[in-house]
Structure 1
């Protein structure tokens, strides 16, 4: 079935932009449209008032009323533009806030995280996130003002054309056709062309990445150390230039059509003004009507300078991107519905064990199989270390346990209950984790350790001490240099704070601790001391450690070796060394990195033996 023109119009991103305005601020939107209509109509009414004044002068009547009316209209014409501009900018700011609020909810609300890691959504996410930075066009508050200016010209031209109907029915049709032709003859496919193509979005994403390389603090050291400062600037300029070229190509002038456009406009205006002159000479029109219709004929020209201008592209693209992301992210970030109704409370799980049964998993949008019928049993109350080569699925295993993703096949059971049937919020309250890319909150130390709620100073200090992070800063010190009295921490110190956050969660009820390379930025001696403290502080919980350092791994009760999506070895450190398999090979390869029986920190190698 063929889609109707109206349905196709509703799918346009420009239509969606205007649909978002009342969602952003309904009263302000109503005021904006009202001011637009008034601002467009008043000049046409003023032309009529001018004609009335001229007619009164010619007829010798009283000028008080006509002049007063014309004067009021003139004042209104002067007052409306700055008021409309202010309302437009405020409405643009409200639209910007609505887009940012909607995007934040869209990203945060789905229970999973597949929508944030899906490459198919990355370009829309870049457009939606970066639209107000002014890199690819004016910010939203200016865009709405520019859009208002374009619509004002369109409304004013149409209003003048309506007045011109009083002269001759054909006159406004001719002038509207002539001036409207400029939009099609001087622009390639006009403003209604969709500039938000995949090619344009990709160019914007590349430009944004180069921009962040140049402006973010994190890459600054390497850029200077390796002499890449000039390369980054050149890359950003080239990517941005490519983006501008693609956007310009959608609306560039056809230079060969300028002459044709000029001839059409001249012919149309010659016909209308010639007819007006002839009517005046032959007595068909009085002087006052000639004044009104001549001004109206000139006013129709506003159509050429009004309409849906270029600013609508820049304003509509992020709106369309956010609206697309709303549905797509909700679907991609969704998790499987539970089979049990109501959902099973998490209680004190895990009490007995966590079991992976034939789990198969690959990330959405990829063909690579991460787990291939994985079977693994994790006894509750102990510690399990996960080792394996990069890409073996160690971090993915932690994500599945947190239910950030669901398996494609198979199941994960907690005390015999499918993880998908457990109450999600209650289960996550039973978990705490330190991931490789843990969050560094630009907040006071106390809120870094206990971000979910209030905690006593004694509780916070106990968690910091257990993580070896006591004395790093005062509890009320902001951990960022950009704030008064703030400070920054080294990578190792930040890891201790993240560990303190996890240990505090254990003290407040978490029963499963996931540690994904939790001490990678600490030296061997510090790592050993910290992990021994962590094991002591988490005796009541089930601890899963992911680490490349075997000096730490060997302290776990059991060790699991992952390879090609399956468990290939499992046992204690001594059992796996005796087995002489993959674990022993990896252990010995790491041991050979140390010279003369000492590690890089001067710690005797017997800590690894």
Structure 2
């Protein structure tokens, strides 16, 4: 199906799927309301002709049309607006639910890394409300078509030449299209500035950044930057709006002069006996209606264009999600590991970047092993963790899980077998119970599981210090919400990682960075104990990223990374004996502690 037809069908189907009954009734009511004004105008012309010719039947017809129009208008207005408002709310709810479903259904992270995709996603998000009013715009468009057909019929009944007037009015449609196109281009061109402004505003109002902003006196710097970006955005958009206003004003002036000439012409025909008094009245009363009609079409062209563009982006997002859904990855994840995870010549570059973050990594993570990744910042450790979680697929090479390519395993099924703790953990501002329980949604209601996870994550002291224990709302943005320190948030994040008791792969990417060395060592003893249990029952692998060598020495396998490559690997004693990079880094850290 061509993209244009697919977009229109998406708009129509979404509107009627959201509220099929309400949309059908509303369509009938808006059509009735749309023909009321021109029909009553025709009734007035019949009444005038009836009075002029003293024909009772014509007078009665005119009065009947006028009264009937009033009745229809009364009923349509009384029922139509509440129904339309309800249909619009249903439509908005449907659109936002669909957007959330589509975006969260994309299994990878590529769309977060590509600026071009991020810009388009921002457009979809920022203009989502325009799709939400799609039901109302659809009804407006239907009403405009109905009204136009009625007005053209009445004008044609006076003289076919008068049909030229609405055609002249079509110039307003053209001007509206040009104006909306230019304004849309201005919006799209200013999206990078808009995203940056939103981010700077978040930084300015975030309590976590408030300390540095004040210490370094960055308030004015941020405000100046935001003001400069806003000014650039507004100048671009105002220039587009000003251009559109000039074009529309010129077109309306030409149309008004043409309609004035038409009225003079009809009056002249009536004086010559070629038209009736009712015809003159009809043309006079239709003049503002034609202007309203063309203005309505022009307005609808703008809004229809906006809605179509929004649904076009939404259609793009759906197609993008479909193409990046990894639907071909249908192999179920294993219940246990027997041989382990093997990386064969794995290389990776982030989307939009030509430089490789990982290069030619060949490595085996044995089933049941605790593996530590060490190396300086930027060595590629976190990227390797993301590949193991299949947030991305390798650019080159492959990752095999018990001999099966990870790229063929269903991503959600694989991740259901994982657990993780990260340095950049999320501060979920929920109740303390929920913050921990969401580590395993399937067991979120299991109180014993939550308490066990808290114990294993060494977070009992955090819960004990909360005014309402596990039922305490976290986050100062909420009434009675409690803010935690970085270390307390991290302990809850660690407890969350312990909710899944027997993961096939436990990923720990510096999850204790905010804790003191003693607390970290105690926690890693917990992790080591859990890893042994998981190894014996499921062959589970624990992957630990840390800069503290006192911790990684307990690992079964230590992998030293440098510039995106594996430089050496082995046990702690073997690597010390080898005298390579690991031994050098270990000695530097040990000397600092001494």
For Structure 1 versus Structure 2, the TM-score category normalised by the shorter chain is 0.7 to 0.9
Give the aligned partner of residue 602 of structure 1.
Answer: none
Give the aligned partner of residue 515 of structure 1.
Answer: 508
User: Deviations for 1:6-34, whole angstroms, at most 9, x for unmatched residues?
Assistant: 968648x7896566433443334434443
Give the aligned partner of residue 331 of structure 1.
Answer: 323
1:96 aligns with 2:101: no
Give the aligned partner of residue 527 of structure 2.
Answer: 534
In 2, Cα distance between equivalents of 1:213 and 1:239: 15
**Paired residue secondary structure (1:475):** helix
- Contact kept, 8 Å, 2:454 with 2:460, in 1: the verdict is yes
In 2, Cα distance between equivalents of 1:231 and 1:85: 48
Residue 203 to residue 290, structure 1, CA distance change in 2 (3 Å): same
In 1, Cα distance between equivalents of 2:471 and 2:155: 72
In 2, Cα distance between equivalents of 1:234 and 1:364: 32
Give the alignment of 1:294-333 within 5 angstroms: 294-309=284-299, 310-312=302-304, 314-333=306-325
Give the aligned partner of residue 51 of structure 2.
Answer: 57
**Paired residue secondary structure (1:377):** strand
User: Deviations for 1:485-517, whole angstroms, at most 9, x for unmatched residues?
Assistant: 5423222112211211222212xx313211011
**Paired residue secondary structure (1:540):** helix
1:346 aligns with 2:334: yes
Cα offset for 1:202?
2.7
1:389 aligns with 2:382: no
Aligned match for 2:488, one of 489, 493, 509: 493
- Contact kept, 8 Å, 1:100 with 1:129, in 2: the verdict is no
Give the aligned partner of residue 453 of structure 1.
Answer: 442
Give the aligned partner of residue 551 of structure 1.
Answer: 550
Give the aligned partner of residue 578 of structure 1.
Answer: 577
In 1, Cα distance between equivalents of 2:68 and 2:590: 91
In 2, Cα distance between equivalents of 1:143 and 1:218: 39
Between Structure 1 and Structure 2, how many residues are aligned?
575
Residue 365 to residue 177, structure 1, CA distance change in 2 (3 Å): same
Q: TM-score with structure 1 length normalisation?
A: 0.83
Q: Mind listing any 5+ residue stretches in structure 1 that lack a counterpart?
A: 1-5, 133-137, 595-604
User: Deviations for 1:195-225, whole angstroms, at most 9, x for unmatched residues?
Assistant: 1575243343233333433445544443344
Cα offset for 1:432?
1.0
Residue 225 to residue 323, structure 1, CA distance change in 2 (3 Å): farther
In 2, Cα distance between equivalents of 1:238 and 1:377: 52
In 2, Cα distance between equivalents of 1:487 and 1:130: 31
Cα offset for 1:167?
1.0
- Contact kept, 8 Å, 1:531 with 1:552, in 2: the verdict is yes
Cα offset for 1:531?
1.4
In 2, Cα distance between equivalents of 1:170 and 1:292: 15
Cα offset for 1:170?
0.9
In 2, Cα distance between equivalents of 1:184 and 1:530: 69
In 1, Cα distance between equivalents of 2:325 and 2:349: 15
Aligned match for 1:418, one of 392, 405, 413: 405
Cα offset for 1:392?
1.8
RMSD, aligned CA: 3.4
- Contact kept, 8 Å, 2:130 with 2:310, in 1: the verdict is no
Give the aligned partner of residue 424 of structure 2.
Answer: 437
Aligned match for 1:475, one of 462, 470, 474: 470
In 1, Cα distance between equivalents of 2:141 and 2:447: 59
Q: TM-score with structure 2 length normalisation?
A: 0.85
In 2, Cα distance between equivalents of 1:263 and 1:502: 69
**Paired residue secondary structure (1:360):** strand
Give the aligned partner of residue 155 of structure 2.
Answer: 164
In 2, Cα distance between equivalents of 1:92 and 1:235: 38
In 2, Cα distance between equivalents of 1:233 and 1:73: 57
Residue 255 to residue 375, structure 1, CA distance change in 2 (3 Å): closer
In 2, Cα distance between equivalents of 1:444 and 1:545: 28
Aligned match for 1:77, one of 63, 69, 73: 73
Give the alignment of 1:120-139 within 5 angstroms: 120-131=116-127
- Contact kept, 8 Å, 2:263 with 2:283, in 1: the verdict is no
- Contact kept, 8 Å, 1:559 with 1:572, in 2: the verdict is yes
Cα offset for 1:369?
1.3
Cα offset for 1:46?
0.6
Give the aligned partner of residue 102 of structure 2.
Answer: 106
In 2, Cα distance between equivalents of 1:142 and 1:352: 55
User: Deviations for 1:69-107, whole angstroms, at most 9, x for unmatched residues?
Assistant: 413413543564575554444444333323322221222
Cα offset for 1:567?
1.2
Cα offset for 1:286?
2.7
Cα offset for 1:122?
0.3
User: Deviations for 1:546-572, whole angstroms, at most 9, x for unmatched residues?
Assistant: 112223223323311112332111122
Give the aligned partner of residue 561 of structure 1.
Answer: 560
Q: Mind listing any 5+ residue stretches in structure 2 that lack a counterpart?
A: 464-468, 535-540
Cα offset for 1:523?
1.6
- Contact kept, 8 Å, 1:164 with 1:297, in 2: the verdict is no
Give the aligned partner of residue 178 of structure 2.
Answer: 189
Give the aligned partner of residue 47 of structure 1.
Answer: 41
Cα offset for 1:260?
5.7
In 2, Cα distance between equivalents of 1:367 and 1:335: 27
- Contact kept, 8 Å, 1:433 with 1:514, in 2: the verdict is yes
- Contact kept, 8 Å, 2:48 with 2:277, in 1: the verdict is yes
In 1, Cα distance between equivalents of 2:332 and 2:131: 47
1:178 aligns with 2:173: no
Residue 544 to residue 182, structure 1, CA distance change in 2 (3 Å): closer
**Paired residue secondary structure (2:518):** helix
Give the aligned partner of residue 264 of structure 2.
Answer: 274
Moved more, 284-293 or 139-148: 139-148
In 1, Cα distance between equivalents of 2:308 and 2:255: 31
In 2, Cα distance between equivalents of 1:391 and 1:83: 64
Residue 345 to residue 268, structure 1, CA distance change in 2 (3 Å): closer
In 1, Cα distance between equivalents of 2:152 and 2:86: 31
1:502 aligns with 2:489: no
1:199 aligns with 2:189: yes
1:371 aligns with 2:369: no
In 1, Cα distance between equivalents of 2:26 and 2:532: 63
In 2, Cα distance between equivalents of 1:111 and 1:9: 28
